[in-house]
């Protein structure tokens, strides 16, 4: 799994920590991959972070797309949060979605 996903060596010092870290990371990877696969095509294309020479989608693109989807359809749309986020100007929402989602 370390070779396939590029996992680093864990920093844990006890056996339980080491044995728990890889399954948790693999579980997170699986959840993100499944959520990304369920996204509409227009959301996955908009989430791609590009740079010269990049040809394929990466896990970073997938997690960015899932974050944007969760923020847009869950956080911003939740009725109890709606009043607070309704005060945000559209450019600030776009900044949150396109500048902070890749870095979060």
DSSP 8-state class, residue 8: P
**What tens-digit pLDDT sequence spans the chain (104 residues)?**
667 666 777 777 787 877 787 788 888 889 999 999 888 877 666 656 667 887 788 888 888 888 888 888 777 777 777 777 777 788 887 887 777 777 75
pLDDT number for residue 43: 67
Q: What pLDDT was estimated at residue 71?
A: 81
pLDDT given for residue 104 in this prediction: 57
What secondary structure does DSSP assign to 50-101, as a single string? --TT--S--HHHHHHHHHHHHIIIIITT-HHHHHHHHTS-HHHHHHIIIIIT
Instruction: Take residue 78 and report the two structure tokens written for it.
Output: 């939740």
């Amino acid at each position: 799994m370390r070779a396939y996903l590029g996992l680093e060596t864990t920093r844990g010092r006890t056996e339980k920590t080491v044995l728990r870290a890889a399954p948790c990371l693999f579980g997170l990877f699986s959840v993100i991959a499944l959520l990304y696969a369920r996204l509409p095509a227009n959301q996955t294309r908009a989430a791609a972070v590009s740079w010269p020479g990049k040809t394929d989608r990466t896990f970073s693109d997938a997690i960015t797309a899932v974050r944007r989807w969760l923020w847009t359809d869950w956080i911003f749309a939740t009725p109890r949060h709606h009043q607070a986020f309704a005060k945000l100007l559209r450019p600030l929402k776009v900044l949150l979605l396109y500048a902070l989602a890749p870095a979060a």
